[in-house]
Structure 1
Amino acid sequence: MNALKDKLPPLGTLGPVIALLMACAFFATQSDRFLTGQNLSLVLQQVMVVGVIAIGQTLIILTAGIDLSCGMVMALGSVVMTKFATELGMPPALAVLCGIAVTTLFGLANGLLVTRIKLPPFIVTLGTLNIAFAITQLYSQSQTITDLPELMTGLGNTFTIGGTEVAWGVVAMLGLYLVAWFALRETARGRHVYAVGNSPEATRLTGIPTQRILLGVYVLAGFFYGIAALLSVARTGVGDPNAGQTENLDAITAVVLGGTSLFGGRGVILGSLVGALIVGVFRNGLTLMGVSSVYQILVTGILVILAVAADQLSHKASR
């Protein structure tokens, strides 16, 4: 019996999956178009950017931190890579790497401020959010960058499976989740991330370099924001300086709905994908029902509060 129990997914993972299935069942009764392959593919395309940002956000929240700057850092990365390619004439692949390098440097800056100067992650990333926003607007002159090379928009292209168009960016997102899941579950570094979130001091006393782990988490999160920037460019076909203004909250919402504890040390990376899908399904389903976008935001807010309340109660019960 215990062996069977160990093989089953934890309740914290099953809960979001059940919520996702219930949401799909509800919206399927409200609209005949909801369960069509074309619509479900659209949902995946709509969540692929936030889904990849949520990978980095999950890593940080697992260490009991938070990153408010992720959306704007992603937007800066997209502007850098598109302007480097269109205005500087840089080869597209190199321009993309430069954009990812910028987002990774922001992750490094966040990590150094948190680990070396001991500033609270909330304050640090609130500051870098504003810095990234200002740099994005100044560098782009608040203008959208168009006429992009094919390589930058390639992940927005689709292929057909069973008559349904699926974007390559969705495949990239799913692949990144599998890699992150394996790294957290099967590698020593991944287990150390959980240990730091559970108890930094106890982890330090066992000889694990907690500050190095924390710094690495923020740097890796910045890298994922750069990948998300490329997906954003691929999906929209432009470098948009006004992107990323809600993605930070959407990513945090996805992580919380996916069962990752804001207190750190508990959660499954695949749950964040489920959380992103929950948000995407609700927004898509309500749109098909003709519900105003204001109510969609209201529902998302309610879901976040319920998820955080459940996390709080679970944390108190485990103490």
Structure 2
Amino acid sequence: MSTPTVPAHSHRRLADHLPTLAEAGPLIALVIACIFFISQSNRFLSFQNLSLILQQTMVVAVIAIGQTLIVLTGGIDLSCGMVMALGSIVMTKFAVVMGVPPVIAIVCGVGASTLFGLLNGVLITRIKLPAFIVTLGTLNIAFAVTQIYSNAESVSNLPDAIMFFGNTFNLGPATVTYGTVLTLLMYLATWFVLRDTVPGRHLYALGNNPEAARLMGLSAQRILITVYTLSGAIYGIAALLAVSRTGVGDPQAGQTENLDSITAVVLGGTSLFGGRGSIAGTLLGALIVGVFRNGLTLMGVSSVYQVLITGILVILAVAADKLSRRGAR
């Protein structure tokens, strides 16, 4: 009696529905990291500590939304952290020093970040400069403007409205900040736009094959200016979350967030070559960074080794992406 065979095309259909390593890898890495730190510290799994991880992650996670949009087009933004710092100083100085109503001050801060995003987009598309060089330049410009405008001094005594997203509420045994809720809502909205809208598909098309996108009639210039400008606005929202969490407008903020956001994007499986990745992966990547830093801190590991491990993870993620692209050819 012969054994029935499964047609080869059935295996192919099954394989098509299984997640790729780039898609499943971040979730697997996050689960493994959590299991490891649970075994090393009985404090890791507490609701208080998990809530702390989310609070520590939310600013970088929001910046990483904008970074993901840019990386999907094949670009990169090194200025994001300092643009966020500028937005935080503008909104806090407007509210405290100039006495502007808090809501208007917040809009002005987000507007300042948005203008820097627009500047990046215009320089990249109109003058045809590499994104790396443009955003490296605007990083230094934003840093200088922030220091000059703030006199290198923090802004405190902020009005309650600017501090709103740092407030907490109880969700069962856990304490959650409104900033965490806003972060998750922004990820949900971005996921919908990238997955189910025409602009989202156009963004992927441009990053995957710019020449094919041009032949389809897509305007790379318009898409890139829109993406960089929108990312600037997202950095402004991140500035509001940073201010609400720390309680001050800090001109020294944002100096590592550019690399942290790129780390989150890469660990989340988004290709630095453009055209491939997901916003859900970026959220997982940000959580991986947050979990590692929190877990290593609980274990008493020096912050220097935390940076070392993060660097190793980034190299491994980029190498895996490079190998997967080579294998797909």
TM-score range for the pair, normalised by the shorter chain length: over 0.9
Q: Secondary structure at the match of 1:150?
A: coil
What aligned pairs does 1:10-21 form with structure 2 within 5 A after superposition? Answer: 10-21=20-31
1:214 aligns with one of 224, 230, 234: 224
The structure-2 alpha-carbon separation of the partners of 1:9 and 1:174, relative to structure 1 and needing over 3 Å to count, comes to farther
Aligned-partner residue type, residue 26 of structure 2: P
- Does 1:160 pair with 2:160? no
Shift, 1:7, TM fit = 5.2
Shift, 1:161, TM fit = 1.1
Whether the 8 Å contact between 2:22 and 2:321 is mirrored in structure 1 is no
- Does 1:169 pair with 2:179? yes
Shift, 1:3, TM fit = 6.4
- 2:251 aligned partner: 241
Greater Rg over alpha carbons, structure: 2
- Does 1:305 pair with 2:305? no
The structure-2 alpha-carbon separation of the partners of 1:43 and 1:79, relative to structure 1 and needing over 3 Å to count, comes to same
- Does 1:285 pair with 2:285? no
Aligned partners of 2:107, 2:45: CA distance in 1, in Å?
37
Aligned partners of 1:309, 1:293: CA distance in 2, in Å?
25
1:53 aligns with one of 56, 59, 63: 63
Q: Secondary structure at the match of 1:108?
A: helix
Shift, 1:318, TM fit = 2.1
Q: How many residues align?
A: 319
The range that moved more, 281-290 or 3-12, is 3-12
Whether the 8 Å contact between 2:93 and 2:155 is mirrored in structure 1 is yes
- 2:327 aligned partner: 317
- Does 1:268 pair with 2:275? no
- Does 1:225 pair with 2:235? yes
RMSD: 1.1
The range that moved more, 210-219 or 178-187, is 210-219
Aligned partners of 2:268, 2:97: CA distance in 1, in Å?
40
What aligned pairs does 1:86-105 form with structure 2 within 5 A after superposition? Answer: 86-105=96-115
- Where does structure 1 differ by over 2 angstroms across 4 or more consecutive aligned residues? 1-11
1:68 aligns with one of 70, 78, 82: 78
Aligned partners of 1:254, 1:280: CA distance in 2, in Å?
10
Aligned partners of 2:202, 2:16: CA distance in 1, in Å?
21
The range that moved more, 232-241 or 206-215, is 206-215
The range that moved more, 155-164 or 5-14, is 5-14
In the superposition, the TM-score normalised over structure 2's length comes to 0.95
Whether the 8 Å contact between 2:292 and 2:306 is mirrored in structure 1 is yes
* 1:106-161 superposed Cα distances (whole Å, 9 cap, x missing partner): 00000001111110000000000000000000000000000000011110011001
1:83 aligns with one of 93, 97, 122: 93
Aligned partners of 1:284, 1:218: CA distance in 2, in Å?
31
What aligned pairs does 1:190-205 form with structure 2 within 5 A after superposition? Answer: 190-205=200-215
- Does 1:144 pair with 2:193? no
Q: Secondary structure at the match of 2:170?
A: strand
- Does 1:296 pair with 2:312? no
- Does 1:44 pair with 2:54? yes
- 1:251 aligned partner: 261
Gaps (5+ residues) in structure 2? 1-9
In the superposition, the TM-score normalised over structure 1's length comes to 0.98
Q: Percentage identity across aligned positions?
A: 68
Gaps (5+ residues) in structure 1? none
Aligned partners of 1:9, 1:47: CA distance in 2, in Å?
26
- 2:38 aligned partner: 28
